[in-house]
Chains A and B, each alone.
Chain A
């Protein structure tokens, strides 16, 4: 594709249309949810749908500061606490998975085990099991050994989500690295661990970063572990969003506002990680 300055007008228009279509598909529902977070209940259920309305910050106020009753009583809202819980749980899970998973992925990518392929497939197969199959036995075990409603317990169970993801994605990127690089490093006398840390990981950073953010997102969005294995102390933010479902209705404005607030950490992580994803693996230098 020629660079922007050398594009013909028709290419320009096509490109613009393509961007518009993609942008609309991805962003319109988000924009609609965002608008919902600024509307009163009456505006939300109005028909025809209202694009022009008097915005209200009441939903965000309730999410961030608490209900009017709670504010009057001086109580902090639970939602921010749930947000913190999710940060601890998902952040901790991804960190643990990265620490354990990067070496494991490297071993799988480089080793000459007969069973390496089998092991890799086994990691993948842990994504096959529906959560339903383990959640009830897991609840019993957790309550018996005291891991119920605890951060270590939640971080541990989230490994089922994050570890296979990180291992499988990064294995692929490790394999993309040609062995000449390792040869060169070994000639310089580097051991396997230091080669991994100083040479391989920086080169594979785009892949590792993608893996980390994907794992973070899937862990962040998980509902069922947070429902059954977390109590009041470690409740994650996905449960917090669902609090907007009351007995007789769904409080859409509140739900939309909570969803928006809950998406902020993910957005920040994604933006921060973008820098690493966009740097390509340039093998030209190696050749």
Chain B
């Protein structure tokens, strides 16, 4: 764009003055030109990859149910066809592993989590996303508003790829879609009938545990239910919430394992006490779906440190017997008055071997944008990871009636969200170590050695795993 400035009085200025005017004019004109170009930075072309096709691997989740009807919108916006495969969690991750390890790039995008990504990133199977975010031709960063994401949750997708450290820094391997944290769920009518208050600390819970049982119309109602099988999610998520509230993190600031520490032993002993007192026999084999179903069928007074994502099922009269009699509370405080919680963040990552990364990125950007995310939340995708979504009046109205009192679910969720984080050392084989930890806890339930012995044996094994 050339300068259009033309001197109006050609003979009034000396030649050097004319030169200065010319230079000044060009300067002004270029600034004006830049000013006209600047607004177009916000208009990246959504149609730039029109005609391509992308393939998604999706893990069954209400998020996926909410996403499916929105896919035609994306195709209209971008001209990109979307095909997908939806699988349950176990087979889904198996299939994903088969594909990623063979590096064929069958799937361009897939659902994952920070825990899994520690392995995938180590293997080089993930595409770092920062370059795409910063590429103006591909991303409208203003509209996207990266700061709108809850900082801790977005940070869980970053990792430097150094074992045992660096979570929250380094390249961004995934963008979050929703997250889950943990809470107490209880039956208000039965609590009243038993004359009990919802416990605020673990000590209080242990006190009332022996009294947490009654007879229901269909048989006994047991005290509490939670998942408890020999699986990594026990110390990572549900019991993990209790551990962290006792001040136990798997690795402390000095890098030493805390599995066998006095606080960990105390937390485990209290947990086993709780289960022995308030849960029926066979409790040490409950999987997460049995924990949810058990509570929903009305056979338990309390659901302990279980996923707040189960709430929609509890609230649905066609799926639970307790829809009009359920309340939520934050998980109890630990002995030092601390409350911390685990978090599970469903995210989506880009396959490093994808044949069309730009098209895949366009999808990822569209999916995690404010508008699309709110639409999915309204259709059942919980919990929102963007602050703007929590503030959206429709989303707030959706969960208004969940719980004993209006707005209870949202209050508890927000409170838990403040203390929820992934407090584990990144390691490609972390699940194996956590499995070993869970095994020690389960052994202690079956009276197979005492708690301290089992935990210390597990710690020794895990140290060996870290060393190798």
Contact = CB atoms under 8 A, between A and B. Distances in A.
A46 interface: yes
Nearest to A138: B98
A249 B91 contact: no
Given A40-B318, A46-B297, A47-B218, A136 B59 contact: no
A47 B299 contact: yes
Interface string A190-230: 00000000000000000000000000000000000001100
A247 B218 contact: no
B307 interface: yes
Interface stretch (B99-107, B182-190, B452-460): B99-107
A78 to B, nearest CB: 9
Nearest to A149: B106
B69 A246 contact: no
B91 A246 contact: no
Q: How large is the interface on A (under 10, 10 to 19, 20 to 34, 35 or more residues)?
A: 20 to 34
Nearest to B62: A247
Interface stretch (A7-15, A16-24, A237-245, A268-276): A237-245
Contact of A41 (B84, B99, B299, B318): B318
B297 A47 contact: yes
B392 interface: no
Interface residues of B, number: 41
B88 A243 contact: yes
B256 to A, nearest CB: 36
B318 A42 contact: yes
Given A46-B297, A246-B60, A228 B98 contact: yes
A249 B219 contact: no
Given A242-B88, A247-B62, A249-B289, A140 B104 contact: yes
Given A227-B95, A247-B59, A46 B89 contact: no
Of A228, A231, A245, A248, most B-chain CB atoms within 10 Å: A248
B102 A139 contact: yes
B313 interface: yes
Interface in A23-45: 40-42, 45
A148 B98 CA distance: 12
B252 interface: no
Contacts of B99: 139
A42 B321 contact: yes
B88 A42 contact: no
B59 A143 contact: no
Interface string A84-117: 0000000000000000000000000000000000
Contact of A239 (B59, B91, B319): B91
B297 A243 contact: no
Contacts of B98: 135-136, 139, 228
Of A46, A232, A247, A250, most B-chain CB atoms within 10 Å: A247
A69 interface: yes
A45 B321 CA distance: 9
Nearest to B88: A245
Interface string B332-363: 00000000000000000000000000000000
B91 A227 contact: yes
Interface string A125-146: 0000000000110011001100
Given A242-B91, A245-B88, A248-B309, 10 more contacts: A42-B317, A69-B69, A73-B69, A139-B98, A148-B106, A228-B94, A243-B87, A246-B62, A247-B60, A249-B313
17 contacts: A46-B218, A47-B299, A135-B98, A144-B104, A239-B87, A239-B91, A245-B88, A246-B60, A246-B62, A246-B88, A247-B61, A247-B62, A247-B89, A248-B288, A248-B289, A249-B289, A249-B292
Interface of A: 40-42, 45-48, 69, 73, 135-136, 139-140, 143-144, 148, 227-228, 231-232, 239, 242-243, 245-250
Q: Which 4 A-B pairs have the closest CB atoms?
A: A245-B88, A247-B61, A45-B297, A140-B102
